Amino acid sequence: MRRLISFLLVALVLYTYYNLAGAQFKKPSSEKQHKEEKVPCVVVKVYDGDTFKCRFENGEEVRVRLIGVDTPESRRNKKAYRDARRQGISVEEIIYMGKKASAFTKSLIPPGTTVYLETDVQMFDKYGRLLAYVYLPDGRMLNEVLLKEGYATVYTVPPNVKYAERFVKLQREAMLKGKGLWGER
């Protein structure tokens, strides 16, 4: 019940913000989208390489999950064991890589950083996290930076596929160059 209430509050905050401000989440008209077209949010805590908590201007806090990317787990859990079996490596190696990805994300969005959120078709995942493309203060998309630098893999879940082709291209380039975690495999 608490999760449902949180979900509804976040949905209401986003709806109110865009209706009062006259803004809306828009598909980018160019490679770089203006900050004014996205919702600002201040980072409160980074949980791991692809999930963090942020606070909207009205004080509401929400967990954010990056769309289209996945970073290794940084703690022992069911997914870490599943990924280890699937990749044929140890859980310790998964966790080691997860901690590196998490540290990289923390270096880009430490607490207090204002980021800008853009959603796709589906706004929340089954865990109640807001699904977003996250833009750094310098205009770069965090999702893309993680892929480009080799700290994430493409994880596309329809219907959120707006940048899927770009993400695949960035991952391929990072793999070929041995960047980030690709250099350790």
Instruction: Kindly name the residue from 73, 118, 144, 149 that is annotated as catalytic.
Output: 73
pTM given for the model? 0.80
Instruction: Kindly name the residue from 63, 65, 144, 149 that is annotated as catalytic.
Output: 65
pLDDT for residue 185: 65
pLDDT for residue 37: 77
pLDDT for residue 24: 35
**Domain ranges across the chain:** 2-184
pLDDT in tens, 134-153: 999 999 999 999 999 999 99
pLDDT in tens, 95-132: 999 999 999 999 999 999 999 999 999 999 999 999 99
| Fold designation for 2-184 | OB fold (Dihydrolipoamide Acetyltransferase, E2P) (2.40.50)
Report how far residue 79's alpha carbon sits from residue 52's, in angstroms, rounded to the nearest whole number. Answer: 18
Is 73 noted as a catalytic residue in this protein? yes
User: In this structure, what are the phi and psi dihedrals at residue 170, rounded to the nearest 5 degrees?
Assistant: -65, -40
Is 166 noted as a catalytic residue in this protein? no
Question: Is the pLDDT assigned to residue 5 strictly greater than 80?
Answer: no
Instruction: Kindly name the residue from 63, 118, 129, 149 that is annotated as catalytic.
Output: 129
pLDDT in tens, 8-62: 344 433 443 443 333 333 333 333 444 447 999 999 999 999 999 999 999 999 9
The candidate with the shortest Cα–Cα distance to 110, out of 46, 54, 16, 176, is 46
Is 129 noted as a catalytic residue in this protein? yes
